[in-house]
Each structure stands twice: as C-alpha cells, then as structure tokens.
Amino acid sequence: MPRKFSARRARAMRDIDQGLRMLNSGLRRLARDVSTMRVAGNGRAVRRRPVTRALKLQGRYMGLIRTLPLRLKLQVKAIRAKQGVEQAIRKARALKD
C-alpha cells in the first residue's frame, strides 16, 4: 500500500511543478506586456501600432469613400481594383468636390 500513496504523491508533485512553471511563464509574459502599455487619462491601456504607409492610405480611402453615394462608391471601388488605392483616392477626391 505505501507504493500507491507514493505514486499519487509523485504525480501530485509533478502536476504542481508543471502548474507553477506555467504560472511563472504566464506572469512573465503579462509583466512584459504591461510594461509596454501606456495608460490613457481614463485608466484604460493604450497601445499604438506603428503607422505604415499602407495604413495611412487605407484610412484616407475609407474616409473618402464612406461619404460618397453608392453609385460613386462603386466607381471608386472599380478603380481601386484595377489601378490601386492611390488612383482610387484621387478619383474619390475629384468626385467629392
């Protein structure tokens, strides 16, 4: 009978050890993430993505296209598919005025 209890104890110790290792790695990841966050005035975390050229173009495109009527949106979307985002932005600006 002593073997049964020692096997249970050994397994329990392995499970506890594994759990502590997982907890330790999780806390390290959390600490790393928290140290890189910025906090806004309302206490919420603020993460900033680097603003790439593609992201700027996407923002301009979305800002322009959302104010256009459906018929003009379709024209701009067709231009974007054929000629690219920059040409579509030019066309949307021209149609907006």
pLDDT at 39: 64
pLDDT at 34: 74
Give the model confidence (pLDDT) of 36-94 as tens digits: 766 666 767 666 778 899 999 999 999 999 999 999 999 999 999 999 999 999 999 99
CB 68 within 8 A of CB 88: no
pLDDT at 56: 93
pLDDT at 4: 66
pLDDT at 8: 86
Please state, in angstroms and rounded to a whole number, the distance separating the CA atoms of residues 15 and 8.
Answer: 10
